[in-house]
Amino acid sequence: MKGPKMLKVIENKPIAGYVYSLKLHAPELCERVLPGQFFHIKCGGDKFPLLRRPISLSYTLMEEGCMVLVYRVQGQGTKNLSSRRPGDPLDVLGPLGNGFEITNRHQRVAIVGGGIGIAPLVELAGVYGKRAVVFAGFRDETFLIEGLQQRSPDVRIATEDGSVGYKGFVTDILAQHLKEHRFDVVFACGPRPMLQRVAEACRKALVMCQVSLEQRMACGVGACLGCSCAVKDTDGSLQYVRVCKDGPVFWSEEVCWDE
Q: Kindly list the residues in this chain that would bind another protein in the complex (CB under 8 A).
A: 1-4, 42, 46-52, 77, 93, 215-230, 238-240, 245, 259
The residue among 47 and 85 lying less far from another protein, judged by its C-beta, is 47
Beta carbon nearer to another protein, 150 or 239: 239
Q: Which is nearer to another protein, 47 or 105 (CB)?
A: 47
Q: How far is the CB of 90 from another protein (least distance, A)?
A: 14
Closest separation between CB of residue 49 and another protein, Å? Answer: 6
Judged by beta carbon, residue 9 or residue 230, the one nearer another protein is 230
Which residue's CB is nearer to another protein, number 84 or number 242? 242
State the minimum distance, in angstroms, from the CB of residue 75 to another protein.
8
What is the Cα–Cα distance from 213 to 221, expressed in whole angstroms? 15
Output the smallest distance, CB 159 to another protein, in A: 23
Output 104 or 237, the one with its CB closest to another protein: 237
CB of 50 vs another protein, minimal distance in Å: 6
What is the closest distance, in whole angstroms, from the C-beta atom of residue 231 to another protein in the complex? 11
Return the HEC string of the chain. Answer: CCCCEEEEEEEEEEEECCEEEEEEECHHHHHHCCCCCEEEEECCCCCCCCCCEEEECCEEEHHHCEEEEEEECCCHHHHHHHCCCCCCEEEEEEEECECCCCCCCCCCEEEEEEHHHHHHHHHHHHHHHHHEEEEEEECCCCCCHHHHHHHCCCEEEEECCCCCCEECCHHHHHHHHHHHCCCCEEEEECCHHHHHHHHHHHHHHCCEEEEECCCCCCCCCCCCCCCEEEEECCCCCEEEEECCCCCEEEECCCECCCC
